Amino acid sequence: MTNRTQFDYELEELKLSLIKMGDLVIKNIHLSLKSFIEMNSDLANKIIKDDKIVNQFEYDIEKDCMRIILKEQPVARDLRLITSVLKMITDLERIGDHAADISKLTVFMEKNNKPYLVPQVNKMVDESEKMIKMALESFVNQDQNIALKVIDNDDIVDDYFTEIQHLVAEAIRQDNIDADYAIYLMMAAKYLERIGDHAVNIAEWVIFSIVGHHRN
């Protein structure tokens, strides 16, 4: 195996690890909302514990990146790609943190028997998950157009968040929602809004890896 072939193999392994980390945080987001809606503290506690796996992914990938840099001394596009991975795993780790944060809300609200269902929350989760998947796809395929679509789609998540704010405020006025639940619901929605922001960050680092400059 030539040096370049070995280097390409290591880069592909790096991409694979990134995808596995991304798949895990997407699963955790999905399950964290499920735990919140169903007030399932057992599921919530599992997600909180699984966040350690996300953190381990970040540590392992960071270590692999530094090993490749020291060993191969990459330049130009190869160096940008590895640098982008280092940045993206930070955003994925924070997304994992937010999934755990939503699960912690579930644990706090375990005794609440008056959940108030807002369909836009599910839509926020679906859109956020889609944005993360698209961002990772854009990285693997080095496709700037997909990354730009992720950035555009952040407006969709933000619009859902605004709708939720209005719906919860109206529910409070009509006395249709428990006050404590309203607070925790808005906190969960805010975490989802931040997840969308982190997906945008990932997409922006994909663009950097392709064109060599970061969007302002």
Question: Mind listing the pLDDT tens digit for each residue in 74-104?
Answer: 778 889 999 999 999 999 999 999 999 999 9
Residue 8: its pLDDT value, please?
Answer: 82
Tokens representing 205 are 């680092």
The answer to whether 125 and 195 have CB atoms below 8 angstroms apart is no
Domains of the chain with bracketed CATH: 3-211 (1.20.58.220)
Burial 96-130 (b: 16+ CB within 10 A, else e): bbbbbbbbbbbbebeeeeebeebebbebbbbbbbb
Q: What is the pTM of this model?
A: 0.92
Please tell me what DSSP assigns to residue 164.
H
Spans of the chain below 50 pLDDT: none
The answer to whether 87 and 205 have CB atoms below 8 angstroms apart is yes
Please tell me what DSSP assigns to residue 33.
H
Residue 215: its pLDDT value, please?
Answer: 66
| Cβ partners under 8 Å of residue 201, min gap 6 | 87, 88, 91
